[in-house]
Amino acid sequence: MPAPMDGNMLAGPLHEFYGTDLTAESMQCAACGTFAVLATARVFVGAGLVVRCRTCDTVLATVVQLGDRVEVHVSALIGLPGHA
């Protein structure tokens, strides 16, 4: 398995989806309660991006490029616009 990247690699896809760079924003893991800047999350690259909590390894979100659009699915990340 490739080594994880940091959350800064989410800047482009999240900007495309939300219209702004959210990597400097503080978010919360719904599983362990850790507050951290999104840029510090661990991101694994495969068919898409899997964003994991740096503390408990819970999947926070997935980001997938589907043709000309980006899809963001939030699992356990509190703080992204439009998500609890």
For residue 39, what is the DSSP state? G
Query: What pLDDT is attached to residue 52?
Result: 96
Taking the C-alpha atoms of residue 38 and residue 22, their distance in angstroms, rounded to an integer, is 7
Residue 53 near residue 32, CB atoms below 8 Å: yes
> pLDDT at position 83, please?
57
For position 79, what pLDDT does the model report? 82
12-56 confidence digits (pLDDT tens) = 998 988 899 899 999 999 999 999 999 999 999 998 999 999 999
Under 8 Å between Cβ of 70 and 16: yes
Contact 38, 7 (CB under 8 A): yes
d(CA 53, CA 33): 10
Supply φ then ψ for residue 60, to 5 degrees: -85, -40
